[in-house]
């Protein structure tokens, strides 16, 4: 299985957690386990998958923190972690993903501020952080990405949540 490049099991109901053996699939380019009903924490072994371009963990029941090792997946372009139960901060290590174009982390329980370091992801086109418990102002550095290739920025722009200090930065504000 070390030569496996695509693993798509999306929408096939399954119970349980992700096995740590996924970290040994070094040639894996696409991993889609969305909508499978998976639980537990997201394994840090994903950080070993340096050829991975697409990772979809969306629409499951994952809990715990987003592993900081995600920053080691340097080929990653598409990251879908939306609609889970993830908590804690958005890891600043995601700023090491220079090829990241789509980041979906909406509808979790993420807290803290959006790291300004994400502005180093200059290819970022879509970032959806809505439906979390983020606070503070969106860093100017990220808003400046809008002048590059950031086409869609969705965030919570309520009085008690993340503030869109520059309204044009958020192309769409979730109620």
Residues across the chain: 175
No. of helices (H) and no. of strands (E), the chain: 1, 13
Quick check: is 1 in a domain? no
- Taking only the tens place, the pLDDT of each residue in 16-26 is 888 898 889 98
Question: What is the number of structural domains in the chain?
Answer: 1
Give a yes or no: residue 45 inside a domain: yes
Whole-model pTM?
A: 0.86
52-101: pLDDT as tens digits: 999 999 999 999 999 999 999 999 999 999 999 999 999 999 999 999 99
The CATH number given to whatever domain includes residue 32 is 3.80.10.10
Element (DSSP H or E) covering residue 122? none
The residue whose two tokens read 């798509």 is 8
Decide if 160 is inside a domain. yes
- 41 lies in some domain: yes
87: containing domain: 6-174
């Amino acid at each position: 299985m070390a030569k496996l490049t695509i693993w798509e099991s999306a929408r096939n109901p399954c119970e349980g957690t992700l096995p740590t053996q996924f970290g040994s699939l070094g040639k894996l380019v696409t991993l889609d386990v969305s909508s499978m009903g998976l639980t537990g924490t997201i394994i840090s072994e994903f950080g070993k998958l340096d050829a991975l371009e697409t990772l979809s963990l969306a629409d499951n029941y994952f809990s715990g923190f987003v592993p900081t090792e995600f920053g080691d997946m340097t080929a990653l372009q598409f990251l879908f972690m939306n609609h889970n139960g993830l908590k804690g901060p958005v890891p600043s290590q995601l700023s090491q993903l220079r090829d990241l174009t789509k980041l979906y982390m909406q509808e979790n329980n993420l807290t803290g501020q959006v790291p300004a370091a994400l502005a180093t992801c200059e290819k970022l086109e879509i970032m959806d952080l809505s439906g979390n418990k983020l606070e503070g102002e969106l860093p100017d550095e990220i808003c400046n990405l809008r002048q590059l290739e950031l086409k869609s920025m969705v965030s919570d722009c309520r009085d008690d949540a993340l503030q869109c200090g520059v309204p044009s930065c958020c192309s769409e504000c979730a109620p």
